[in-house]
């Protein structure tokens, strides 16, 4: 296992900056929020369960705030974004879920695709007018097993595979990062879009519809092989604060990218395809009714 040469202790001072971390009440999201708050940022925990969010916030030093945000419900995402006032420096699209066949969002999308991609797609675009620095979206090595099933994005007719569904959502995260960066540059914005992945980290990934034996197996593997959530948060913290090119993808530099120091890492050919990224963006606009957040030709009410 490679020892990390850059850690949360190397974060710059973040006084006067505001960060929003989705899914910040546990796992890598909690570790990310904790480190940002410790470095001086005002951290907003965007969480589905505000009671758990308040318990998490109570463990942090620094300035924190808990707000309800259910990424599996686009009405909740819209309400959250509409209530936002003031500047937002860092948006960390961290929250992620996994679930089996039949697990869907409030809007009827496959749970993984709807939460991990469409929820963050909607949130990011609605908050873009407030953003001043960057968006970091968490992907995963699982993107390499993914494809985008445009003919059945909700995965209602295909023979269901959890790995395939989760892989689709994580590939979508990287394609979103790529196309968002292109649109930001085209618009003349100073905001950057980047992606990160935690390696193999002990995490409380939202699991719905899984069998008990599978959950037990995943938990056992985590205890035996995974790095801590604090270690898993380091690539995200690095992507959020270091001077990196837009569309960068940061992960651990160790073997198979499971552990190690944060570094720029590779992605699959599909995840690098600008045509596929643009097609997914347009499909996501149709599904959510949300357009690019810096299209100055439309009012906020139209977004």
Phi/psi class of residue 32: alpha, beta or left (left: φ > 0; alpha: ψ in -120 to 50)?
alpha
CA 73/CA 283 separation, integer angstroms: 18
**What element of type H or E holds 47?**
strand 42-47
Structure tokens at 201: 């980290």
Q: How far is CA 303 from CA 53, 90, 184, 300, in A?
A: 28, 21, 16, 5
Strand residues in 164-303 grouped as ranges (E): 192-196, 206-208, 249-252, 262-264
Token duo for residue 241: 């604060």
User: How many other C-beta atoms are found inside a 10 Å radius of the C-beta of residue 162?
Assistant: 16
* 166 assigned to active site: yes
Active-site entry in 160, 166, 200, 249? 166
Q: Which residues contact 70 (CB under 8 A, 6 or more apart)?
A: 48, 76, 77, 106
Q: CA-CA distance, 244 to 194, in Å (whole number)?
A: 8
**Residues catalogued as catalytic:** 166
């Amino acid at each position: 296992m490679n020892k990390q040469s850059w850690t949360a202790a190397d974060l710059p001072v973040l006084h006067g900056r505001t960060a929003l971390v989705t899914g910040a009440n546990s796992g890598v999201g909690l570790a990310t929020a904790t480190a940002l708050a410790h470095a001086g940022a005002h951290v907003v925990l965007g969480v589905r369960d505000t009671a758990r969010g308040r318990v998490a916030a109570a463990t942090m030093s620094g300035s924190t705030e808990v707000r309800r945000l259910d990424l599996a419900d686009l009405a909740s995402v819209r309400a959250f974004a509409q209530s936002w006032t003031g500047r937002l420096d860092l948006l960390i699209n961290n929250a992620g879920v996994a679930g089996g066949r039949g697990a869907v969002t409030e809007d009827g999308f496959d749970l993984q695709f709807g939460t991990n991609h469409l929820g963050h797609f909607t949130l990011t675009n609605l908050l873009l007018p407030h953003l001043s620095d960057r968006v970091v979206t968490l992907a995963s090595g699982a993107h390499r097993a993914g494809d985008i099933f445009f003919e059945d994005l909700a995965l209602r007719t295909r023979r269901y595979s959890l790995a395939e569904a989760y892989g689709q959502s994580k590939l979508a995260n990287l394609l979103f990062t790529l196309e968002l960066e292109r649109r930001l540059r085209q618009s003349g914005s100073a905001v950057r879009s980047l992606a990160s992945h935690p390696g193999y980290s002990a995490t409380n990934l939202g699991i719905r519809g899984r069998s008990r034996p599978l959950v037990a197996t995943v938990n056992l593997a985590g205890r035996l092989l995974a790095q801590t959530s604090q270690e898993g948060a380091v690539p995200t913290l690095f992507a959020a604060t270091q001077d990196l090119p837009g569309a960068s993808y940061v992960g651990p530099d160790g073997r198979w990218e499971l552990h190690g120091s944060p570094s720029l890492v590779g992605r699959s050919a599909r995840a690098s395809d600008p045509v596929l990224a643009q097609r997914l963006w347009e499909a996501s606009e149709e599904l959510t009714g949300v357009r690019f957040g810096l299209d100055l030709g439309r009012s906020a009410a139209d977004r």
